[in-house]
Amino acid sequence: MIQIKFFASLRERLGTSSLNLQYAGENTVADVAHELVERGEEWRFLEERDVLCAVNQTLCGKDAKINDGDEIAFFPPVTGG
């Protein structure tokens, strides 16, 4: 099982803050994003260039490797401080 989290404007646009996905051998974060995008039009912006991602709470690129049990997060550029 992979836990996927969404934050801020991304969370609002999707209308959900998290979901679980059965792990099916996906290699990278991009594979997971692609799988979600296939669910329908509203998921498409997950593949937009400025969407950031983290694996197990560490910022990474979309080519980052993933494993069963990982926590993956997608979010817009950060604006703290």
Partner 1 sequence: MISVQRDDFDHCEQYLALKEEADGDGAVVTFTGLVRDFNVQGAVSGIHIEHYPGMTEKSLMRICSEARKRWQLGQIRVIHRVGRIGPQEQIVFVGVTSKHRKNAFDACEFIIDYLKTSAPLWKQEGTSEGMKWVASRLSDKEAMDRWLNTTNLS
Residues making contact with partner 1 (CB under 8 A): 5, 7-9, 50, 54, 57-59, 73, 75-81
Smallest separation (angstroms) from partner 1 to the CB of 74: 11
HSE-up of residue 9 (Cα within 13 Å, Cβ side): 9
Closer residue to partner 1 in complex, CB, 41/50: 50
Closer residue to partner 1 in complex, CB, 37/60: 60
Burial (0-12, 13-18, 19+ Cβ within 10 Å), 26: buried
Closer residue to partner 1 in complex, CB, 10/33: 10
Distance in angstroms (rounded) separating the CA atoms of residues 58 and 54: 5
